[in-house]
Structure 1
């Protein structure tokens, strides 16, 4: 119930922010790959991913919201001995206050065009044969907005994460467990590639160890790079920014803090090429 309330609040916040926005971009998207990984499982899982993405800016800062629905094949089963795959919903929300906009004076230095404070949270629900994640995570920390074509934002965020997995097939319930507060160095970007209707977009996260997990095992530092080169199909037909297609690549080591050299195995280390398409409205 708590996760549902969080998800509803995020959606409402994103919707309300867009009403008074100076600019806004909302899209629905699809991507597909055959080399996804899951800790304690396979690293050649096929997944179809549907997403809703919203970004907007207003007088004092910006908002970002993304909801992914991830549909696995049977290598990541929905239940023991199942012929169907797991389903996951993963939501991210970030709000950044721009100190320059708040003060009315430009705050920048060297390659930095602005300074801000970012806060938000992640939440997920997954139905699978084992862990059944119910992640909740609050994030907050400073952000540097770099002076580049498009945007490049670099943040150092403190993470307060918890989970309460429940395996309905074995009846094993784990009370909500709080990991050690830890740091994430993260960057997100969208940079045009010359005069072509191409852009390099994505994010990269380095996440420090979050201490012991709910079963007493040590967690590992996590590295996740996800980048795509997108072609603006609409630019050639007089409707730029409406429909984009491209190639995406994800490199995810020690997924969710599970050490791939330990018991979680090769499924905690994925190198995943994908195809991607987006419709913006």
Structure 2
């Protein structure tokens, strides 16, 4: 598929809210701001130290779901950068008006992602699967073909999950993602496994929305497709939902 056709395909997915029936409805919506501080980052942080501020928005609709995040990356001894992703998914159960559930798979979706950063735009398109896993708030699998701007095209597997649990009166959440991309002529295969463990301090401060305190751990092999540039970094995390 040419880059032009890829952009057109992703644009179709991104336009879903405009093309769905008039009775399409918003089911849920969430906004959050996060602050991270770590000291063992690779590649863009020469001394390993970096602060990151992240804005996130996620929403569920009668026609599917969306996820957006924008990172402001602020290394200690390098210029700051902005990176983000926008990922809409169209429920094929909604489109066909029939259940596509099978075993643990509760829905099949058309999935797209736009990755944007300093001087590049990547477009990913493929299929997504919503999986029912006992105890998990959500568990998603996306399979993508990537049309990359400044390096060779490849394939990508993305997993996302959220698992809440309670210890006594304390509420916790383990969530995160795993991205695996295939090897290409220009890049090594890479794997980025990044979970977060968070305690809801807001519950004990009388807040209606979560205020999380915790850690994020990045286990990234061949970061940015660079052979043997591996990241093992734990960051302090503060995340406020509103």
Unaligned runs of 5+ in 1: 1-5, 75-84, 126-133, 164-178, 213-218, 261-267
- Measure the CA separation in 1 of the matches of 2:106 and 2:205: 34
Contact 1:233 1:240 in 2 (8 A): no
Which residue of structure 2 aligns with residue 220 of structure 1?
188
Which of 245, 251, 254 is matched with 2:219 structurally?
251
Is 1:33 equivalent to 2:38 in the alignment? yes
Give the aligned CA root-mean-square deviation in angstroms.
Answer: 2.4
CA distance in 1 between partners of 2:149 and 2:191 (Å): 19
Cα deviation code 1:139-171 (max 9, x no counterpart)? 0111111102300101110111113xxxxxxxx
Quick one: distance in 1 between partners of 2:203 and 2:106?
29
On the 8 A contact 1:232/1:241 being kept in 2, the answer is no
Q: Does 1:139 align with 2:100?
A: no
Counterpart CA distance in 1 for 2:39 and 2:125 is 34
Partner Cα separation in structure 1 for residue 224 and residue 200 of structure 2: 33
Which deviations, in whole Å up to 9, do the C-alpha atoms of 1:153-191 show, x marking residues without a partner?
01110111113xxxxxxxxxxxxxxx3321001101111
Which of residues 48, 54, 66 in structure 2 aligns to 1:45? 48
In 1, Cα distance between equivalents of 2:175 and 2:52:
17
Asked if 1:208 is matched to 2:179, the reply is: no
Higher strand share: 2
Which residue of 2 is the match for residue 152 of structure 1? 139
Change (3 A) 1:45 1:91: same
Could you tell me which residue of structure 2 aligns to residue 57 of structure 1? 60
In structure 2, the partner of 1:216 is none
TM-score of the two chains, using structure 2 as the length reference: 0.84
Picking from 157, 167, 170, the partner of 1:185 is 157
Task: Point out where structure 2 has 5 or more consecutive residues left out of the alignment.
Answer: 1-6, 19-23
Q: Aligned residue for 1:110?
A: 103
Aligned residues: 221
